[in-house]
Amino acid sequence: MHELSLVQELIGVLEEQVRVHTVKKVLRVNLRVGKMTSVVPSSLAFCFEVLSRGTSLEGAVLDIEEIPVRCRCTTCQEEFEVESFTFFCPKCGGNNLEQLSGREFLIHHLEVD
Ligand SMILES: [Zn+2]
């Protein structure tokens, strides 16, 4: 499962932060996840709950913000959000696109005690 390894990595990174900053408890983790990553937020939350047990992250709330897939048409410079993964420019119909967002998997901020 894709989400399981992502969450394992995420917890590793967060625990490192907890150690470095001598945080007592992490209350909330705000994550930004691009829709292009095909991560399912509910299974991400589930994996986090299971894997964080017994760690300094236990009980932390995982806030998942989904980032839309945005592209720029290199022909006419139009910027648009890609719906249902049809990669054509809505303005000129071109398919020379540069992807601007949608592949993120970032920890945006942490709320700690
Ligand atoms: Zn265009």
pLDDT tens for each residue of 55-95:
989 999 999 999 999 999 999 999 999 987 788 999 999 99
pTM: 0.79
Cβ–Cβ contacts within 10 Å for residue 79, how many?
A: 13
pLDDT, greater one: 47 or 85: 47
In angstroms, the Cα distances linking 72 to 23, 38, 44, 47 are 41, 21, 29, 34
Q: Ligand 1 mean position to 37 CA, how many Å?
A: 24
Q: Ligand 1 mean position to 24 CA, how many Å?
A: 51
* Max Cα–Cα distance, the chain, nearest Å: 54
Q: Ligand 1 mean position to 85 CA, how many Å?
A: 16
Cα within 13 Å of Cα(86), Cβ side: 7
Q: Ligand 1 mean position to 96 CA, how many Å?
A: 8
Mean pLDDT value across residues 14-30: 90
Query: Collapsing DSSP states into helix, strand and coil, what is residue 38?
Result: coil
